[in-house]
């Protein structure tokens, strides 16, 4: 009885296994129909390394991963290289070593400028962090957001275009023709005009895109004076055109007539120029690269330019006859002008750096009103009515002129410390319409007038003027 029972049990087990295997074969057939590789019937059964929870499986998601953490062992993590950038300022990237300066090998993007094409900053958004490098006078890389600059000026101006004011000749000459002061033969002025210029400003933002500043320029000494004296051995006089006779003439200050004695005397001629300029300006970044920058300048300009010419003559009579011996005659002529300018300025500054060297340029123009005043004063003790000799057209004249004042300059700077630079440069200033003392002088004189003198007439000429020279200075940032 046991054998039939066992036989029947085996049949039942075979039927059961066949019922299980048929569906599995059907599944395998369907997988093959769908174009997939056929699987082993037991492929769905868990094998070592096949479960979703196996070590290193990237499909496994845990709560820690949802929070942004990678809980896999380090050897299974992606091999990514962390760039040397932090994102801690205004969501902008910049070198992690920035706060330690350039010691770690990453130059400050603000100090070097905007990202250059192909540089490691090119693809970084917002590469400019708060700056720790100020640009003195507009771009030289310094440590700090403020700058103070002082320049010693070695400038020159043009010669004064006065007519001849003093002439000389040989002993006994009644018509000396050698010009010793004034005219083209012996022009006044043209000497060195030393001065000083100070520039102070600071940036309003850490990125150095907007700043304000002020500049002050003045000439320290700017006058010349020449004195010519004679005991009669050399004839000395003041030339003029005699409007009464219509011919040139000379008022003789010193003359030796031989047996009849000699007049002795002297003539002094002076020329003075004073200049003062004050600027208040704003500075705005136009463009910046790794080694250069350009800025827009705009603001207010004040200029004061004064010029004067003086002629002083003294003659002691020593010729017998006519005027009593020992009679002293003096003449004092003063011609002076004042030019006062108020206006706005607009210009550009550029800076190009390479290593410790920086080349800077400045070009700007000021537009505004120039008030011009001319004054003529003549005094003396003489036989001509106790008046000046040339300055007989006494009085004051004033006019207003709309004009422009261009200015240009260039400097080479050298860094001696992180916040100090020495510089040498050149400056040029031009004044196309000013009043100068030379434009007030009229050498036409009605020496023996009948009634009201017809000459000299009041003069108030329009002239031009310029200043140019060398700048030697120091820049300090703070």
The residue that leads in pLDDT, 384 or 116, is: 384
Q: Answer yes or no: is pLDDT of 2 > 90.
A: no
Q: Judge contact between 288 and 113, C-beta under 8 A.
A: yes
Give 226-282 pLDDT, tens digit per residue.
999 999 899 999 999 999 889 999 999 999 988 889 999 999 999 999 999 999 999
What does the pLDDT read at residue 79? 52
pLDDT of 193 above 70: yes
Higher pLDDT: 79 or 120? It is: 79
In angstroms, the CA 2 to CA 53 distance is 49
Cβ atoms 475, 413 nearer than 8 A: yes
At residue 39, the pLDDT reads 45
Q: What is the pLDDT of residues 48-62, one digit of tens each?
A: 444 444 444 444 444
In this prediction, residue 407 has a pLDDT band, given cuts at 50, 70 and 90, of very high
- Scan for tokens 């970084």, then name that residue: 124
Return the number of other C-beta atoms located less than 10 Å from residue 138's C-beta: 25
Question: Would you place residue 190 in the very low, low, confident or very high pLDDT band (cuts 50, 70, 90)?
Answer: confident
Q: Does residue 309 contact residue 438 with C-beta atoms inside 8 Å?
A: yes
Per DSSP (E only), the strands in 205-324 are 210-219, 223-230, 235-242, 247-256, 262-288, 292-316
Q: Which of 126-130, 201-205, 348-352 has the lowest mean pLDDT?
A: 126-130
Q: Find tokens 């066949």 and name the residue.
A: 18
pLDDT over 50 (residue 136)? no
Q: Sort residue 4 into left (φ over 0), alpha (ψ -120 to 50) or beta.
A: alpha
Mean per-residue pLDDT over the chain, rounded:
78
In DSSP terms, 434 is beta-bridged to: 463
- pLDDT of 116 reads 38
Which whole number is the average pLDDT over 125-138?
Answer: 35
Rounded to whole angstroms, how far apart are CA atoms 370 and 341? 4
The span from the CA of 475 to the CA of 453, in Å, is 59
pLDDT of 201: 96
Residue 189 in contact with residue 160, Cβ under 8 Å? yes
Place of tokens 């992180």: 418
Residues of the chain with pLDDT > 90, as a percent, come to: 58
Q: In 259-389, which ranges are continuous DSSP H helix? A: none
Non-local CB neighbours of 454 within 8 Å, separated by 6+ positions? 243, 446
pLDDT in tens, 342-379: 999 999 999 999 999 999 999 999 999 999 999 999 99
* pLDDT score for 118: 36
Helix ranges (DSSP H) in 60-126:
63-66, 109-112
* pLDDT score at 75: 55
pLDDT at 244 (0 to 100): 87
Query: Picking from 57-66, 114-123, 279-288, 448-457, which range would have the lowest pLDDT averaged per residue?
Result: 114-123
- The DSSP result for 179-221, as a single string, is EEEBTTTB-EE-SEEEEEEEEEEEESSTT--EEEEEEEEEES-
Strand 444-445 and strand 235-242: the pairing is: parallel
Q: Tell me the domains of the chain and their CATH numbers.
A: 1-45 (no CATH), 48-73 (no CATH), 81-130 (no CATH), 140-477 (2.40.128.90)
pLDDT at 418: 86
Distance of alpha carbon 235 from alpha carbon 410, whole angstroms:
49
Per-residue pLDDT band for 283 (boundaries 50, 70, 90) equals very high
pLDDT band for 35, please (50, 70, 90 cuts).
very low
Of 139 and 268, the structure prediction assigns the larger pLDDT to 268
Asked if the model's pLDDT at residue 111 lies above 70, the reply is no
391 or 116, higher pLDDT: 391
């Amino acid at each position: 009885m046991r054998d039939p029972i066992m036989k029947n049990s085996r049949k039942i087990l075979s039927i059961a296994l066949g019922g299980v295997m048929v569906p599995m074969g059907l599944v395998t057939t369907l997988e093959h129909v769908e174009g997939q590789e056929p699987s082993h019937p037991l492929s769905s059964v868990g094998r070592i390394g096949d479960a979703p929870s196996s070590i290193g499986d990237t499909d496994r998601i845990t709560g820690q991963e949802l929070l942004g953490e990678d809980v896999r062992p380090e050897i299974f993590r992606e091999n990514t290289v962390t760039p040397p950038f932090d994102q801690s300022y205004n969501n902008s990237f910049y070198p992690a070593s920035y706060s330690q300066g350039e010691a770690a090998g990453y130059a400050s993007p603000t100090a070097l400028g905007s990202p250059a094409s192909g540089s490691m900053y090119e693809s970084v958004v917002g590469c400019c962090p708060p700056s720790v490098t100020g640009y003195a006078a507009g771009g030289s890389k310094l440590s700090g957001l403020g700058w103070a600059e002082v320049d010693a000026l070695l400038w020159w101006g043009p010669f004064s275009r006065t007519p001849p004011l003093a002439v000389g000749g040989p002993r006994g000459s009644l018509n000396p023709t050698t010009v010793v002061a004034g005219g083209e033969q012996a022009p006044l002025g043209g000497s060195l005009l030393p001065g000083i210029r100070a520039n102070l400003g600071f940036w309003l933002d850490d990125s150095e895109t907007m700043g304000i500043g002020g500049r002050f320029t003045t000439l320290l000494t700017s006058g010349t004076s020449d004195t010519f004296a004679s005991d009669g051995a050399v004839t000395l006089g003041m030339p003029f055109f005699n409007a009464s006779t219509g011919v040139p003439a000379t008022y003789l200050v010193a003359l030796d007539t031989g047996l009849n004695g000699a007049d002795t005397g002297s003539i002094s001629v002076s020329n003075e120029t004073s200049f003062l300029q004050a600027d208040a300006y704003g500075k705005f970044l136009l463009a910046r690269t790794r080694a250069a920058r350009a800025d827009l300048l705009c603001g207010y300009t004040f200029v004061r330019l004064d010029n004067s010419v003086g002629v002083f003559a003294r003659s002691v009579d020593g010729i017998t006859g006519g005027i009593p011996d020992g009679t002293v005659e003096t003449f004092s002529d003063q011609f002076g002008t004042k030019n006062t300018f108020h206006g706005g300025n607009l210009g550009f500054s550029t800076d190009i750096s390479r290593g410790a060297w920086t080349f800077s340029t400045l070009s700007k123009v000021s537009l505004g009103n120039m008030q011009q005043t001319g004054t003529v004063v003549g005094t003396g003790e003489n036989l001509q009515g106790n008046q000046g000799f040339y300055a007989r057209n006494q009085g004051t004249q004033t006019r207003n002129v709309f004009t422009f004042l261009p200015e240009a300059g260039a400097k080479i700077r050298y860094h001696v410390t992180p916040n100090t630079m020495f510089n040498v440069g050149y400056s040029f200033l031009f004044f196309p319409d000013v009043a100068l003392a030379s434009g007030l002088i009229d050498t036409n004189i009605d020496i023996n007038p009948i009634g009201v003198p017809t000459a000299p007439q009041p003069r108030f000429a329009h002239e031009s003027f310029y200043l140019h020279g060398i700048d030697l200075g120091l820049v300090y940032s703070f």
